[in-house]
A = this chain, B = another copy of it.
């Protein structure tokens, strides 16, 4: 079968053997797969000891082998493998589909049966392929850690990326009051179209003064110097949930700014199979439609990765795999 492989520090389409079914596993014929920054970091060598792998954590496809009641149907994959029995953190042999285990940028993909979920019925294959990694990360950060609910005041930084855009959509669908930040005014306007109350362009000085200063929940994947300003925007009892650090270290922080507020800074990464099922139910119930930025055939993977990193991106980058 055809697969997009990371081998000897570079990416190429290769012809490899189809996956072989084993006990408790399922095989999906991948129709669409979505890109994540994780795929980019792997290519850039951020994960040492990787020799070769088929990349890709997200897919929507047709179940070829696996749970009887879903065979021949459209399904999506929960990308969390070996989460373990504790909801509050992942097991030590946890990993994410797509490295080291072969992922979804291929014609076929092998995963544990319990990672197969029905595609939400109102979505296209492209839209459904956008859900898994980003949607799950957003769900855990916003709902499990941040305890989002109607009327909460929520700030989502760096809107446009996969996780932040899902967090925006989920929070709006919950009836929360949502603000965003971005480096681009156009993305703030798009976010307002999707239900945000307003936003601030963080490339401008004193950007945080453009925002309310009483957020119950802040969702951040950037870190960096701006993290210090986010803290000032927290309400009493506010929760700042962080799932990334693309802008590097937090600045030096005075604890007195936080403990008087009873503020909480909560680390979050990925999510459990239970959270994935909660996310799928929510998407189905609210008829939430993931935002797809653009879609490419897998042969145009270079263009797809460029789109992943483009400043203008709003939502997920998808590839068709079959």
Q: Report A's interface with B, CB cutoff 8 A.
A: 86, 88-90, 92, 223, 227, 236-237, 242-245, 248-256, 258-269
Distance between A231 CB and nearest chain B CB, rounded to angstroms: 10
In the complex the two chains form, is B267's CB within 8 Å of A263's CB?
Answer: yes
A261: nearest chain-B partner, CB-CB: B267
21 contacts between A and B (CB under 8 A): A88-B237, A89-B237, A89-B262, A92-B236, A223-B255, A242-B255, A244-B255, A245-B254, A249-B255, A250-B252, A250-B254, A253-B253, A255-B267, A259-B268, A260-B269, A261-B267, A262-B267, A263-B267, A264-B265, A264-B266, A265-B265
A147: nearest chain-B partner, CB-CB: B88
In the complex the two chains form, is B265's CB within 8 Å of A269's CB?
Answer: no
Copies in the complex: 2
A247: nearest chain-B partner, CB-CB: B255
In the complex the two chains form, is A86's CB within 8 Å of B237's CB?
Answer: yes
A220: nearest chain-B partner, CB-CB: B255
In the complex the two chains form, is B245's CB within 8 Å of A89's CB?
Answer: no
Bound Cα distance A254, B245 (Å): 7
Distance between A139 CB and nearest chain B CB, rounded to angstroms: 14
**Extra 17 A-B pairs, beta carbons < 8 Å, given A245-B254, A264-B267:** A88-B237, A89-B261, A92-B236, A223-B254, A223-B255, A227-B255, A242-B255, A245-B256, A249-B252, A258-B267, A259-B267, A259-B268, A261-B267, A262-B267, A262-B269, A264-B265, A265-B266
What secondary structure prevails in chain A residues at the interface with B? loop
Bound Cα distance A260, B268 (Å): 7
A252: nearest chain-B partner, CB-CB: B249
Chain B residues with CB below 8 A from A88, complex form: 237, 262
Chain B residues with CB below 8 A from A267, complex form: 255, 258-264
Chain B residues with CB below 8 A from A223, complex form: 254-255
Identify the 8 closest CB pairs spanning chains A and B, nearest first.
Answer: A245-B255, A89-B237, A259-B267, A89-B236, A258-B267, A265-B265, A223-B255, A89-B262
Bound Cα distance A264, B141 (Å): 12
Distance between A186 CB and nearest chain B CB, rounded to angstroms: 27
